[in-house]
Amino acid sequence: MPLSVDPHLLSFSNVAVVSTVLGAAYYAYRVLNAGPTVHRPPGPKPLPFIGNVLQMPTSNQPEVFRSWASNYGDVVYVQIFGQPMVIIDSLQAARDLLDKRSSIYSDRPRFVLFSELGPRFRKHRRFMNQMFNSRAVSAFRPLQHKERLTLMEGLLITPDNFVDHLRRYAAATILKITYGHEVHSVDDQFIHLAERAATLTIQSGSPAATLVDFFPALRHIPTWAPFSDFKKDALETRKAVEAMMDVPYELKTGVAIPSYTSALLESNTNPLDGSVLPEDEEDIKGSAGTLYAAAEDTTVAFLHTFVLAMVLHPAVLKKAQAEMDQVVGNRRLPTLEDRDSLPYFDCVLKEVLRWNPPVPLGLPHRLMEDDYYRDFVIPGGSTVLVNIYSILQDCSDSDKFYPERYLEDDSLPDPKDVIFGFGRR
């Protein structure tokens, strides 16, 4: 009697066999075409084929990478299924590579679950640089002052709801700048869209941390197949991200209130027929959505850390308040013009950024060609991460919240020069 086999099982078995063969062939190709042995940066010992995948941390990455640096040095090399990755753990190495050699370190990795960047990323960056020069930024001060007043009023009336007040403040400021949209409540539709997109993006896994980034062919497997959860998550995340970018853009297109979006639409409009190229429209929409998501998230994270630090360290709060009372008094709120007269408070803000940076690993870069640094070679195509958290921990009593360190040691780096990353942004 002939053996009966479920055709679906047979189909999946074929896929598994083919995937295994292709994976082995890919690994053999990488090994055979590696050329003469070169001295890579030091790092944890990789296993055949899979490299360091089992050693990569799934949580608390900055601390793990910092421990690697203590064993291997400030430039650590790992590989995941043949894909090289370099983790930079010192300010000197970050400046040497990403700042001084930015022409070859300014690319971004290609993530299969996220849109490819390349020329479009550079176009987004050009849009942002065009709209956020020093003159344009100073024009936002009246808006920031208005939103600060609203924040203070909310905190005075319902202090227990400080989390909602901080969220509304951060969202209101950047939404007004980006789309000309007024936010009156934390229940605003745009805030919910952005929070859903951010939550799903985080849950779907960090870029360069999923198997499909190393085996792009996996994106073609059907959603019913085993191990395809990443694809279902990616589809849901994509819908949320598109909604975050589309809805505010569509609602605000044509509105006369000046904003980042309206200014870019005006500057990219054909004067003959009043049209905007579809590609330009997509890039304006994409850069605006990215601007909002990035600014709102990091602002809220910083404000939460500030509140936490003041609650845990009342002596610091008392000292900062005394300086504020002496300089500003009790008849007005502080302004940016008071900043130079508040040296201790400035140190408090620096210490908040150092103590718990909002983006501890920054955004990954991609090396465009082989690079020679010190006595080793960093291969082209490497994903490059900078451990911002570890760089800012490179000081005495790093676990201690101590703003005075910036008054006592002027050799310490200003966290503002570190947390925004290195190289071209």
Cα dihedral 223, 226, 227, 228, rounded to 10, equals: 0
Which long-range contacts does 110-119 make (Cβ < 8 Å, 24+ apart)?
Answer: 110/366, 111/207, 111/208, 111/213, 112/210, 112/212, 112/213, 112/216, 112/219, 113/204, 113/205, 113/207, 113/210, 113/212, 113/213, 113/219, 113/230, 113/234, 113/237, 114/207, 115/286
Are the beta carbons of 191 and 248 closer than 8 angstroms? no
CATH 1.10.630.10 is held by the domain 113-312: yes
Buried b (16+ CB within 10 A) or exposed e, 151-181: beebeeeeeeeeeebbbbbbbbbbbbbbbbb
The CA distances from residue 77 to 90, 348, 359, 377, in Å, are 14, 35, 21, 10
- Which residues have C-beta within 8 Å of that of residue 425, sequence separation ≥ 6? 125, 363
pLDDT tens per residue across all 425 residues of the chain: 443 434 333 343 444 444 455 555 555 545 444 545 568 999 999 999 889 989 988 788 999 999 999 999 999 999 988 889 999 999 999 999 999 998 898 887 765 444 544 556 667 777 777 777 767 777 788 888 899 999 999 999 999 999 999 999 998 888 888 888 888 888 887 777 777 776 666 555 554 455 555 555 566 666 666 656 666 666 776 777 777 666 666 655 555 567 778 778 777 777 777 777 778 777 787 777 777 777 778 899 999 999 999 999 999 999 999 999 999 998 888 888 899 999 999 999 999 999 999 989 888 888 999 999 999 999 999 999 999 999 999 999 999 999 999 999 989 999 999 988 887 66
The pLDDT of residue 30 is 53
What pLDDT does residue 305 have? 96
Q: Which three-class secondary structure state does DSSP give residue 74?
A: coil
Burial call 183-201: b when 16+ CB within 10 Å, e when fewer: beebebebbebbbbbbebb
- Whole-model pTM above 0.75? yes
What pLDDT sits at residue 263? 79
Length of the chain: 425
Distance CA 201, CA 293 (A): 11
One DSSP character per residue, 77-143 reads EEEETTEEEEEE-SHHHHIIIIITTHHHH-B----TTS---HHHHHHHHHHHHHH-SHHHHHTTHHH
Beta carbons of 356 and 305 less than 8 angstroms apart? yes
Residues 107 and 425: their CA atoms lie apart, in Å, by 10
